[in-house]
Amino acid sequence: METTGTLYVVATPIGNLEDISARAIAALKQVDLIAAEDTRHSKRLLQHFAVSTPLTSYHDFSSDADVQKLLDDLSAGRSIALISDAGTPLISDPGFRLVEKARACGIAVIPVPGASAVIAALSVAGIPSDRFFFEGFLPAKSTQRCKRLAVLAHESSTVVFYESPHRIAACLADMAAVIAEPNKRKVFVARELTKKFETHFLGSLLEAVAWVASDDNNSRGEFVLVLEGRLEQPDSELDTAMEKAKEVAELLSAELSMKRAVALAAQIVGVRKNALYAVMLEKQG
C-alpha cells in the first residue's frame, strides 16, 4: 500500500541568505523534489546551500496537468518542498492552488517557516502590531488603487502593503490624497529589508511623499508600507457612531446576552467595546 508523501511549504530569505533556517536547508535536501516559482532563480540559492535535489517549476500559470503531476507524485509517496523566489510561499506568491488541492487529497502539508517581508517590516515599524490587515499589492492603476484606499482608509487596524519601485511614489501620493489627515497618519516605509541598502522611514503620509521625492535612491528596490490604522474620530463623529452602536446593541440584545450584543455592535459600527458597554449600562440605570 502506498503512503502519501508530504508537501513542505518552505520559506527562503528575503535578501540576506543567512536568514534561511537549518530546518529549511534540511527539508530542501531531504525531499524528493523542489517545486520552485522560478527554477533559474532558485538554482543559485540551492547551490549556495549545496542542495542538489531535483527542481521543477510551479507558479500561478502552471497548467492543471502540471499541478496534477505534483499531486500524483505526492500521492505516490514522494515528498515535495514548495519554495518561491523569496520569503514565504503563498504570501503574495504562488502556492495556494497546490496547497488547497493537496489538502483536498488528504496529503500532509507542513510549514517550514522563516522570512516574510510583511512580518519583518511590522516587527520594526514602531506602529501598532497587535492587529493588522495584510493588503499585499494594491491595484497598479491609480483610479483602482484610490478606490481600494478609500475603503482601507477606515480600517482601524494597521494595514500592510507590498509595493514595487515603479509605483512607490505614486502609491504614497494616492494614500496622502485619499486618507484623512495625511499630515498626522503615520506610515513606515521599509526598503530593501535585510539587504545592503536597507532603509527605514517613519513619518506622516505627507512626509513620506516628500522623503521618496527627496532622493532617487529612496524609490529603488523592494518596499513594504506599514500604515497606521484610522485615527480616533473627532467627538461629533464619535457621538453619531456611538448612537448607532447603541441602537444596534439594543436590537441584538433581544436575542443575545448584553455582553455579546455589545461586543458585536461595537465591532459592526467600529466603536470601542468598553465605551459602548458603559453607555448601555448608563442607559439601564
Footprint (CB under 6 A) of ligand SAM, residues 20-79: none
CB 71 within 8 A of CB 79: no
State which amino acid sits at residue 148. R
Exactly one of 7, 9, 10, 14 binds ligand SAM (CB under 6 A); that residue is 14
β-partners of residue 35 are: 56, 82
User: Cell 494594491 identifies what position?
Assistant: 138
Residue 60 or 243: the one with the smaller Cβ distance to ligand SAM is 60
Binding status of residue 195 toward ligand SAM by CB under 6 A: yes
Q: How far is the CB of 211 from ligand SAM (least distance, A)?
A: 16
Footprint (CB under 6 A) of ligand SAM, residues 119-138: none
Binding status of residue 193 toward ligand SAM by CB under 6 A: yes
* CA–CA dist 28, 46 (Å, integer): 8
| 3-class state of residue 22 by DSSP | helix
* CA–CA dist 10, 245 (Å, integer): 44
Exactly one of 29, 43, 66, 91 binds ligand SAM (CB under 6 A); that residue is 91
Window 162-181: contact mask with ligand SAM (x via CB under 6 A): xxx-----------------
CB 5 within 8 A of CB 79: yes
* CA–CA dist 3, 83 (Å, integer): 23
Give me 253's grid cell. Answer: 440584545
Q: Where are the alpha helices (DSSP H) in the chain?
A: 22-30, 39-48, 64-75, 96-104, 117-125, 142-152, 168-178, 205-213, 235-253, 258-269, 273-284
Q: How far is the CB of 162 from ligand SAM (least distance, A)?
A: 3
Q: Which range of residues in 58-66, 142-150, 178-186, 187-195 is near ligand SAM by CB under 6 A?
A: 187-195
Give me 61's grid cell. Answer: 500559470
Residue 205 or 225: the one with the smaller Cβ distance to ligand SAM is 225
Binding status of residue 219 toward ligand SAM by CB under 6 A: no
Which residue's CB atom is positioned nearest to ligand SAM? Answer: 87
Residue 43 or 195: the one with the smaller Cβ distance to ligand SAM is 195
Chain residues in the site for ligand SAM (CB under 6 A):
14-15, 84, 86-88, 91-93, 116-118, 162-164, 190, 192-195, 222-224
